[in-house]
């Protein structure tokens, strides 16, 4: 019978959850959910000076926002706790003392140090992603287990934690590959079975250099505040180093169903903001309009738009008219401001582009448009087309000024659809403001 998969995400609470950490957490979560295994959250707070409970909470909130729920952790408990390294010092000391007693470690002051084998060896392991790896022990120095201040080092604590928490797969960034042989030596010195190692590809910026803050190495919350939604960011991160096949846009349920660690590639992944925007847009516009309104509402409010004055039905219909335009909820709020406020239009457009000759062509057309007995976008478009032909003017010279007067924008949904949505009274009010009727 196959052993039950147990994986862990072990962040240091010295900052918010960044994209790299979110990526690692997501791949661990996917593997646990795909295999019916257990996803453990462990807090590696051995850096006592920089670790804070506030950062721990921020990391957890970032994971919750991404939809990465954990089965065991500091807030949930479990059979393998405690789940903070600062609460596990007695366990580390116990195993360090064991290595001392067996002559495999020595004291140097108050520190305990593991002694590397005198004869050179090659430490070999098979990585799920990177294949067979061999590194000679001469690459390393003796390994500090317990520091003189009584705390365990990263390489020792992680081995003790992963073994005593029964972690079966260690899935982490490829920057840890060089730590793995040191950790294997400690597993072997303690007589413990090894987990399966899988190192994830590095994430690079579009310029193929290490990810900078400008290019994406920022907190997942910054993406939330910019108007990306969890499903969009989840989908995008899942594609960094893994492919779901022909279809790029995947739900988390589909990703869980088809995810395989063996299909993670070792080639560095590129963090492409354009691609993130495209993927987020696809997920955004698949949402029920009521949910989309809920996501956009904070951004309308941030723009000081009176969203609360309109019914949910009105706002949903307004977004329906946008017809998929906007890659983030922030963009959607900006693209739809004229549905909520004519002031936003006036701030953008002053009609100074219309000379008297243009106004003389427009005024009779717009007056006749407002006098049509029934209004549908088809009827308005047909009327405008026949008027343009009869007066020998370009359709654009009629529709574009109307678009600017109603929306203040060069690009919008079909302007006759917008006019019908507003109704005659609101259209007349906006046209009167610009002296066009």
For the question of residue 182 being annotated catalytic, the response is: no
Say which residue the tokens 């995400």 belong to: 9
Residue pair 56/26 in contact by the 8 Å Cβ criterion: no
Nearest Cα residue to 430 out of 359, 343, 300, 357: 343
Residue pair 384/398 in contact by the 8 Å Cβ criterion: yes
Rounded Cα–Cα distance for residues 379 and 30 (Å): 52
Bridge-based pairing state of the strands 131-136 and 196-200? unpaired
DSSP structure string for 145-170? EE-TTSPBPHHHHHHHHHHHTT--EE
Rounded Cα–Cα distance for residues 234 and 7 (Å): 19
Residue 14: both structure tokens together: 């010295």
Say which residue the tokens 């081995």 belong to: 159
Bridge-based pairing state of the strands 131-136 and 6-9? unpaired
Q: What number of CA atoms fall less than 13 Å from residue 164's CA on the CB side?
A: 20
How long, in residues, is the chain?
437
Per annotation, catalytic residue among 4, 94, 213, 367: 213
Say which residue the tokens 């906007």 belong to: 326
Residue pair 201/241 in contact by the 8 Å Cβ criterion: yes
Alpha-helix runs per DSSP H in 128-228: 154-164, 180-190, 220-226
Please list the residues that pair with 333 across neighbouring strands. none
Cα–Cα–Cα angle for 255, 259, 263, rounded to 5 degrees? 135
Residue 312: both structure tokens together: 């949910």
Residue pair 32/38 in contact by the 8 Å Cβ criterion: yes
Rounded Cα–Cα distance for residues 41 and 422 (Å): 51
3-state SS assignment for residue 218: coil
The backbone torsions φ and ψ at residue 319, rounded to the nearest 5 degrees and listed phi first, read -70, -30
Positions marked catalytic: 213
């Amino acid at each position: 019978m196959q052993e039950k998969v147990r994986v862990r995400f072990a962040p240091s609470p010295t900052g918010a959850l960044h994209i790299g950490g979110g990526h690692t957490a997501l791949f661990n979560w996917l593997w646990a959910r795909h295999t019916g295994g257990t996803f453990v959250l462990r807090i590696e707070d051995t850096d006592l000076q920089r670790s804070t409970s506030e950062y721990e909470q921020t990391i957890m909130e970032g994971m919750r926002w991404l939809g990465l729920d954990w089965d065991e952790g500091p807030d949930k408990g479990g059979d393998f706790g405690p789940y903070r390294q600062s609460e596990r010092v007695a366990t580390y000391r116990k195993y360090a003392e064991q290595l001392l007693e067996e002559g495999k470690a020595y004291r140097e002051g108050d520190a305990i140090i593991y002694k590397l084998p005198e004869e050179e060896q090659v430490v070999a392991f098979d990585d799920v992603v990177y294949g067979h790896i061999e590194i000679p022990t001469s690459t390393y120095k003796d390994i500090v287990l317990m520091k003189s201040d009584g705390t365990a080092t990263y390489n020792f604590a992680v081995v003790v934690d992963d073994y005593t928490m029964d972690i079966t797969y260690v899935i982490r960034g490829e920057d840890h590959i060089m730590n793995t042989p040191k950790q294997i030596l400690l597993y072997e010195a303690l007589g413990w079975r090894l987990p399966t190692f899988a190192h994830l590809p590095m994430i690079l910026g579009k310029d193929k250099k290490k990810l900078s803050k400008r290019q994406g190495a920022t907190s997942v919350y910054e993406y939330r505040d910019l108007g990306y939604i969890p499903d969009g960011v989840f989908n995008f991160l899942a594609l960094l180093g893994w492919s779901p096949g022909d279809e790029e846009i995947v739900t988390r349920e589909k990703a869980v169903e088809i995810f395989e660690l063996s299909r993670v590639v070792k080639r560095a992944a590129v963090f492409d903001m354009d691609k993130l925007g495209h993927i987020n847009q696809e997920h955004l516009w698949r949402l029920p309009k009521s949910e989309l309104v809920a996501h956009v509402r904070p951004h309308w409010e941030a723009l000081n738009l009176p969203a609360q004055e309109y019914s949910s039905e009105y706002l949903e219909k307004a977004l329906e008219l946008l017809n998929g335009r906007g890659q983030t909820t922030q963009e959607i709020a900006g693209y739809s401001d004229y549905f909520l406020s004519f002031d936003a239009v006036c701030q953008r457009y002053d009609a100074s582009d219309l000379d008297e000759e243009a106004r003389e062509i427009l005024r009779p057309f717009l007056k006749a448009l407002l006098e049509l007995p029934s209004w549908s976008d088809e009827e308005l478009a047909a009327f405008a087309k026949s008027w343009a032909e009869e007066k020998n003017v370009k359709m654009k010279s009629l529709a574009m000024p109307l678009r600017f007067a109603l929306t203040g924008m060069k690009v919008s949904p079909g302007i006759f659809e917008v006019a019908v949505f507003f109704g005659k009274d609101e259209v007349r009010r906006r046209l009167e403001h610009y002296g066009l009727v």
